[in-house]
Amino acid sequence: MKGEVKFSLVFRDMWQSAGKYVPRVDQLVKVAPAIVEMGCFARVETNGGGFEQVNLLFGENPNKAVRDWTKPFHDAGIQTHMLDRALNGLRMSPVPADVRKLFYKVKKAQGTDITRTFCGLNDVRNIIPSITYARAAGMISQCALSITHSPIHTVEYYTGMALELIRAGADEICIKDMAGVGRPATLGQIVANIKKAHPGIPVQYHSHAGPGFNMASILEVCEAGCDYVDVGMEPLSWGTGHADVISVQAMLKDAGFRVPEINMEAYMKVRGLIQEFMDDFLGLYISPKNRLMNSLLIAPGLPGGMMGSLMTDLETNLESINKYKAKRNLPFMTQDQLLIKLFDEVAYVWPRVGYPPLVTPFSQYVKNLAMMNVIAMEKGKERWGMIADDIWDMILGKAGRLPGGLAPEIIEKAEREGRKFFDGDPQENYPDALDKYRKMMKENKWEPGRDDEELFEYAMHPAQYEAYRSGKAKEDFLADIAGKKAEKNRSPEEDAKPKTLTVQVDGQSYRVTVAYGETELPAVGAASVPAGEGKDVVSPLEGKFFLTKDTSETPLKVGDVVKEGDLLGYVEAMKTYNAIRAEFGGVITAILAVPGDAVSEDDVLMKIR
């Protein structure tokens, strides 16, 4: 008989890999006892990554959600673990050091045992402070190697990284094969090297099923001495998700490993609850294509955790491209054609921006760059026309050291735009901020919360937290749910009902209601008041409009004078804030988009005279 292999249910990631949202806290608490009853899990991934932002979008308190969700597992003696992004904490952008320190204290107090820390660039300078912060808070520090497949990312590269993290104090190592593109033999060699040097260090393997390697990879890493394997379960296993626990257990048992038994009655109970949650509303955000295996994912190496949101984004991007084509009587593009073009462009972009491992947030950055390039080229423009500030930070070294070199065309563009490269410690770029947020909470008459958890949440997710506190988040979420359900059930007759649109007449913007046939229209009221005079500033893409991306910026207002090149605001799309800059100078005479509202490409955001 070979050694023991334990299982971890990556419940959070199962949902994130399938679609946009994870269950609400009432649903999580409902399913937890049945997961415990399955009897086969030593660990459960309860939070981390986008989990808390999703709670805020629901209009829920994420701190209550974590406490309520982790408690049943603690009571049963099951360890809980979470995913964190090192320098980026729980968000897409870098976090001040004092907020990072508070992060671990709060999560430990709320019931999370293990923090799985990864840097999307594999820059150990970003990971090592998290080891110190986690251990000081009493958490187990599990450090992740972000696996990808390139000429740079070799067995020696990953072995050296693991040994450096262990010397820095890491309690455990995770082989984070986020796209499932790690080759089985290579992964086995990495694990064997770690175990040879440090037999007592637990190793956990995390992989996605999409490209088709991961069952072979699981067997290889277990043969090499892996201690824990991340698994999913139906109806959210396979596809862009994870191998199902039943299949993994059967394979390892046959290979002679000691593995836990599964209470199948409880398995079916959990399976039924997951389907119930999908039928409630979560299925509205899950693309059927994400339930499929796809060997096309091998070439671009995009992670499973991103594919859920990617397929949703793809629909929006496709609509934008086809609107352009419709105006010019060009043949429409299909979603499959766009997907292939995107994958090909990722393969073009990735080496030119230094081979960052394709994991959050850098997978999104590379994908977004590729998507922007595809959209631009489909519209007759050149590559690299729109690069968001966060993506520039990656390119310039502000987020960490890139594994590979930049292409000359990227360096030339940076120099042409006067951008400066940075090779210091990335944390230096992000000064402490907790005092600022304490002051703002006091001004808002908001309590910092138990263990300073509300303060932490505000400092980690400022815009989402304010929307949660104001009630706007819940209002928008419920409206989005209603809209998606209505769209799903819409009849041809409903398509003919009146619709409110923004139109322009002689340079003026008006809100009008249109209908087909002899439909009686509502009276035109104050909504038709014309906007200010001047040239239009239009949205370059579809997304959500914001005047600022955080509290360090001052929003523009009507009457402000701007110069060509000045920052006007942002359109948040595909998880990045894309800067809108003035193409001409003048005075702002109107701001036509409300911050936080959805805008379409070519919508007029403001006017400048």
What CATH number labels 6-287? 3.20.20.70
Question: Quick one: pLDDT at residue 574?
Answer: 63
CB-CB contact of 177 with 217 (8 Å): yes
List the Cα angle 76/82/84 in 5-degree steps.
165
Rounded CA Rg of the chain: 25
Q: What confidence tens digit (pLDDT) does each residue in 102-142 have?
A: 999 999 999 999 999 999 899 999 999 999 999 999 999 99
Q: What is the DSSP string of 277-296?
A: HHHHTGGGGB-GGGGS--GG
Domain with CATH 3.20.20.70 in the chain: 6-287
The residue type of 213 is F
Q: What confidence tens digit (pLDDT) does each residue in 153-178 have?
A: 999 999 999 999 999 999 999 999 98
CA 305, 308, 314, 317 torsion-angle sign: negative
Report which secondary-structure segment, H or E, holds 429. none
CB-CB contact of 297 with 179 (8 Å): yes
Q: How far apart are CA 13 and CA 304, in angstroms?
A: 9
Question: Quick one: pLDDT at residue 507?
Answer: 43
- 3-class state of residue 84 by DSSP: strand
Q: How far apart are CA 157 and CA 164, in angstroms?
A: 11
Residue 520 has a CB neighbour count (10 Å cut-off) of: 6
3-state secondary structure 469-537: HHCHHHHHHHHHHHHHHHHHHCCHHHHCCCEEEEEEECCEEEEEEECCCCCCCCCCCHHHCCCCCCEEE
Q: How far apart are CA 589 and CA 559, in angstroms?
A: 6
In the DSSP assignment, the letter for residue 207 is E
* Direct distance between the N- and C-terminal alpha carbons of the chain, in angstroms, rounded to an integer: 79
pLDDT under 70 in the chain at which residues? 1, 296, 299-312, 490-532, 550-552, 574-575
CA dihedral 236, 543, 479, 524 (to 10 degrees): -160
Q: How far apart are CA 1 and CA 4, in angstroms?
A: 9
Domain with CATH 2.40.50.100 in the chain: 531-609
Q: Residue 376 has which token pair?
A: 């631009």
Q: How far apart are CA 427 and CA 123, in angstroms?
A: 12
Q: How far apart are CA 606 and CA 512, in angstroms?
A: 18
Backbone angles phi, psi at 504, to 5 degrees: -120, 135
Residue with tokens 């959600």: 65
Of 147, 504, 544, the residue nearest 355 (C-alpha): 147
Q: Residue 126 has which token pair?
A: 């970003």
Q: How far apart are CA 183 and CA 148, in angstroms?
A: 9
Of 235, 236, 205, the residue nearest 307 (C-alpha): 236
Q: How far apart are CA 225 and CA 155, in angstroms?
A: 16
Q: How far apart are CA 175 and CA 190, in angstroms?
A: 9
CA distances from 410 to 117, 346, 354, 394, 574 (A): 30, 15, 10, 12, 22
Q: What is the DSSP string of 438-468?
A: HHHHHHTT----GGGHHHHHHHHSHHHHHHH
CB-CB contact of 12 with 47 (8 Å): yes
Long-range contacts at 264-273 (CB < 8 A, ≥ 24 apart): 266/34, 266/35, 266/37, 266/38, 266/39, 267/38, 267/233, 269/34, 269/37, 270/31, 270/34, 270/35, 270/38, 270/233, 271/233, 271/234, 271/235, 273/27, 273/30, 273/31, 273/34
CA distances from 435 to 81, 455, 543 (A): 29, 10, 32
CATH level 3 topology of 531-609: OB fold (Dihydrolipoamide Acetyltransferase, E2P) (2.40.50)
